[in-house]
């Protein structure tokens, strides 16, 4: 199984994993920093509710870090606050190689 090496992920993102809604609105976990690569793309995608968005940026993350990026998770990418729209785990040679995170 070939996974992307964390040493090849040259940028970082601050991640506050979405934990659901509380009495006063959305609840997020404490922020943590995760290594990633950032690529600016413009693609039309749909979230879990079918709403259409143009995603930007797209993050490449280690597959073991992908569970932190649930939909509606709050991110700070290059000083800009974003929200996770979707996460895809990509395979290479029979194993999960990396995660691709689409953001608003």
**Cβ neighbours of residue 101 closer than 8 Å, sequence gap 6 or more:** 36, 58, 59, 60, 61, 66, 69, 84, 86, 87
Spell out the domain ranges in the chain: 6-103
What pLDDT, in 10s, does the model give residues 45-84?
777 777 776 657 889 999 999 999 998 999 998 888 999 9
DSSP assignment of 18-32:
EEEEETTEEEEPPPE
Q: Which pTM does this prediction carry?
A: 0.79
The domain defined by 6-103 folds into: Thrombin, subunit H (2.40.10)
Q: Find the mean pLDDT for residues 38-44.
A: 77
């Amino acid at each position: 199984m070939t996974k992307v090496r964390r040493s090849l992920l040259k940028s970082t993102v601050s991640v506050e994993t979405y934990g659901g809604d509380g009495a006063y609105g959305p609840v997020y976990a404490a922020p943590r920093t995760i290594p990633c690569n950032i690529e600016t793309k413009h693609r039309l995608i749909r979230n879990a509710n079918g709403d259409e968005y143009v995603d930007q940026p797209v993050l490449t993350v280690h597959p073991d870090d992908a569970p932190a990026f649930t939909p509606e998770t709050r991110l700070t990418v290059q000083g800009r606050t974003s929200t996770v729209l979707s996460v895809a785990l990509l395979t290479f040679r029979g194993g999960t190689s990396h995660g691709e995170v689409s953001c608003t």
